[in-house]
Amino acid sequence: MTEQPPTSGFGPDKLHHLLRICSQADPAEGKTDSNQRKAELLQDMLAETLPVETLVNNLPEELTTLCQISGIASEESVRDLLTKPKTDVGQLRIMRDYFKKKSKCARSEAEQAATTVYYAALAYALAVHGLKITKFSYDDLHRAFSRLANTEWVPSAVSGLFRRACEYCRGKLQM
């Protein structure tokens, strides 16, 4: 007995259509690639140190000159600033402003990663210092932090920070 070829019964049009469907990328696969890319970009941004210019511009002129001459810069990464017990509110404002500007200049995944760090600075200020460093309402912040806390490409240390900030916002909304 001769075996029938697996494409028997298919005309050229049906076969062409089937091959076209099979050759298209899987939408779930594209999502994973996008999430992987965002996770990598976010990890890169968390590993960055804040640029000297952002730190120096907030100091008096004499200290700015001294820092530039000495080559002094922050050696702490953004991740360190977001995970240590008491990062200074001034540094959080610098981080907020820097990543807000960075998110406006970026495209798609990089914009989302920069926006995540921006919100992480806001979350840290709320969760650790009990201070709101934005004009967003507690309701808006709660929604944003809830969404970011459950985003699969956000690392657990940062998503934990978002959860703590969510709790803080929820407490403020119940008052």
CA–CA dist 105, 47 (Å, integer): 19
Residue 34 lies inside a defined structural domain of this protein: no
Name residues whose C-beta falls within 8 Å of residue 73's C-beta, 6 or more positions apart in sequence: 49, 52, 55, 67
Quote the pLDDT of residue 154: 96
73-131 tens-digit pLDDT: 557 889 999 999 888 898 899 899 999 999 888 788 899 999 999 999 999 999 999 99
Q: For residue 68, is pLDDT > 60? A: no
Residue 2 has pLDDT above 80, yes or no: no
Q: Kindly report, residue by residue over 119-135, the tens digit of the pLDDT.
A: 999 999 999 999 999 99
Closest of 76, 77, 55 to residue 66, by C-alpha: 55
The answer as to whether 163 is a domain residue is yes
Q: What predicted TM-score, i.e. pTM, was given to this entire model?
A: 0.73
pLDDT top residue among 57 and 171: 171
Instruction: State the chain's maximal CA–CA distance in angstroms.
Output: 94
Q: Could you report how far apart the first and last alpha carbons of the chain are, in Å? A: 81
d(CA 125, CA 127): 6
Domain count, the chain: 1
The phi-psi region of residue 131 (left if phi > 0; otherwise alpha if psi is between -120 and 50; otherwise beta) is: beta
Least confident of 10-24, 48-62, 110-124, 154-168: 10-24
Q: Is residue 13 part of a domain?
A: no
Place of tokens 């967003």: 136
CB neighbourhood size of 128 (10 A): 19
- What pLDDT is recorded for position 128? 95
Domain membership of residue 11 (yes or no) is no
Domain assignment of residue 145, given as a range: 43-174
Residue 71: pLDDT above 50? no
